[in-house]
Every structure is written in structure tokens, then in C-alpha cells.
Structure 1
Amino acid sequence: MNALTVFSLAVVAVCSGAQLPWFPGMYGAYPGLHPWYRSGMPLMPQPTMKAMAPGPMAYNMAPFAAMAPIYSQYGAQNEFGQYSFGYNAGLSARNEMRDAFGNVRGSYNYLDTDGKVQTQHYVADALGYRVSGTNLPEAPAPATPQYTPEVAAARAAHQAAHNEASAATSAAPTTP
């Protein structure tokens, strides 16, 4: 067995130790490491309840901090001209990829001033640049044409003549 295989197996064995169900965690197996264990304090502040006259109960709880958004980014490229990159910055995100034929596809989103998430998808390929999104204006629906009575009568007469000609053509015998 070569050294790279042995090293890879050792890394997998070490990393998988934290995923075992009986693994008590970093501080669980060694109570002397963390100062809270030595002092006998609980790990998290416990809420206390005050005795009051009959009525609504009040709890004194420690304030909690809002969770911070997850920030991440990635990027990759190869010798064929293919690439992909992206990021997630909490209130905005973007990803884009290019294949070996030069086609580019991507999307991005952000939080606008009204508090709505706006998303755009785009494609750049042989057909050109196309985009679709949640904040793009939409054209009004085309209105149906309103014909004057003269034009409507002429259209009806033309359609009747067309129907007669079609019926005559289909009823005529075909000669070889």
C-alpha cells in the first residue's frame, strides 16, 4: 500500500471520530479542560422564574444574539475554458458557470429597498444574452382589435368565400 493511501485512510479515521454517536464531544470527555466545568457553573444561563401574585408569569431570560448570515464563496476553472464561481453574502448571492462551448449561465439575488428578494437569471450563448427576473417590467397584454361594422361584414364575406372555395376544391375528383 502506498503512502498516500495510508495517509488518506488515517485522515478519514481521525475526521470520522467526531461523527460517532458515542463520542461525547470536545469537552464532554475531558471535564477539566473548560473553566465552567471546574467552577460548577452550568454551561448556559438558566432562566429563573419569580414568584408573584396570581397573574401572568414573568421569566427573566438572558438575551440572545441574532444568528449571523453564512458567508461563503467558491471558484473553479479548468484548461478548457470552463469556470464556475459564486458567493453567498447573507443578503445577496451570485453564481455563474461557463461550459466548454462558451455558454454562460448564472443568477444573482439581492434584497431591495422594499425588503423583497429580487432574483435574476441570465444566459449568454449563441442565441444572445437573455435575462429573466422578478423586478423586470411586464408589457401590457395586447388589446384585441375592434373592427368597424363595414370591416366586420367584409371579413365575414371573405371567410364565406374562402370556405366555399375550400369545399369545392376538396370535392373535385382528382385525376391521375
Structure 2
Amino acid sequence: NNVRSTIAINMNHLLVIALVIAVISAKPQGNFVSVSQDTLGNYNFKYVAGSVARAESRDSYGNVVGAFSYIDANGVLRETQFTSGVDGYQPISDDIPIPVVDTPEVAQAKFAHLAVLHAAYLRLPTGLSF
């Protein structure tokens, strides 16, 4: 049952991505909206409004997959794919910054600096702090 749900999410994810790419690649044809839902909690919606597009699907287990895109003020296409479920909202995009990881040399320098600060703190007269 869980495997079937995961397969369904992956297939929906691929369909949503394909739809958004197709919508963005096409020349603007005006606005478009499509919505469907059932009594089990499943839904699908898609829309295009100017340079903005969004598509989203939800299954009866509460898992959501989708994507949205827009063209920014510089004419650059910005795209974000996402899933949402038991693990919360999980966006995927080249536009989301990736944290910088310290090199071993930088990590060592930070450690040495903090050691010097700690030693200076220990030498302060009682009652003073910084």
C-alpha cells in the first residue's frame, strides 16, 4: 500500500513536471484553469495566468506533488517543484540557495578562533562579560 502510494506520487510528479515544462515552453495563449476533485481527498489543478503556471495533485493519503513557475523581471524562467506529505513541504529548485560548507581549513580556523575567545573570556575578572 505504501509502495503503491510512492509509485503514484512519483508518476504524478513526472506528469506535473511535464505539464509545467509544456506550459512554459508554449507561446502564451491566455489564461487557463483546470480543477478536478473527488470525495476521497484526491484533487488536481492546473492554471496558467500570464507568465505564471502552477500544477498540483493530491492523493487520498494527503501526499501532494506539484510545480510552479514564473518569468521574473529579467525574463528568466524560475521553476520550483515540490512535494508535501508526512515529511512536510519539500521544494526543489535551482533558485534555492545551498548552504556553503566550510573547508577543513576554514573549520580549523574557526575552531582556533573560538578557542582564543574562550581563553580570553576565562581571563576576565569575575562579574564581567562580553
TM-score by length of 1: 0.42
What is the Cα deviation at residue 136 of structure 1? Answer: 1.5
Higher CA-based Rg: 1
2:55 maps to 1:95: yes
More strand by share: 2
Q: 1:147 to 1:109 in 2, by over 3 A?
A: closer
Alignment partner, residue 93 of structure 2: 133
Q: Distance in 2 between matches of 1:124 and 1:95?
A: 13
Among all aligned residue pairs of Structure 1 and Structure 2, give the percentage whose two residues are the same amino acid.
27
Using CA pairs below 8 Å that are at least 6 residues apart, which structure has the higher relative contact order? Answer: 2
In the alignment, the residues of structure 2 paired with residue 80 and residue 147 of structure 1 have an alpha-carbon distance, to the nearest angstrom, of: 52
Displacement, 1:114?
1.5
Conserved in 2, the CA contact under 8 Å of 1:69 and 1:89? no
Q: Structure 1, residues 52-85: CA drift from partner, whole Å, max 9, x if none?
A: xxxxxxxxxxxxxxx7534321110011110010
Q: Which has the higher helix share?
A: 2
Instruction: Show structure 1 runs of 5+ residues with no match.
Output: 1-66, 149-176
Gap change, CA 1:97 and 1:145, over 3 Å in 2: same
Matched, 1:79 2:44: no
| 2:110 is aligned with 1:143 | no
State how far apart, in whole Å, the 2-side matches of 1:118 and 1:78 are: 31
**In the TM superposition, what whole-angstrom CA distance separates every residue of 1:91-129 from its partner, at most 9, and x where no partner exists?**
110001100100111110001111100001111111121
Verify: 1:109 aligned to 2:69, yes or no. Answer: yes
Distance in 2 of aligned mates of 1:109 and 1:147? 37
Q: Which runs of 5+ in 2 are unaligned?
A: 1-26, 109-130
| Distance apart, 1:145 and its partner CA | 4.1
Distance 1:110 1:68, change over 3 A: closer
> Taking structure 1 as reference, are residues 68 and 130 closer, same or farther at Cα in structure 2, changes over 3 Å only?
closer
What CA RMSD, in Å, does the superposition of the two structures yield over aligned residues?
Answer: 2.3
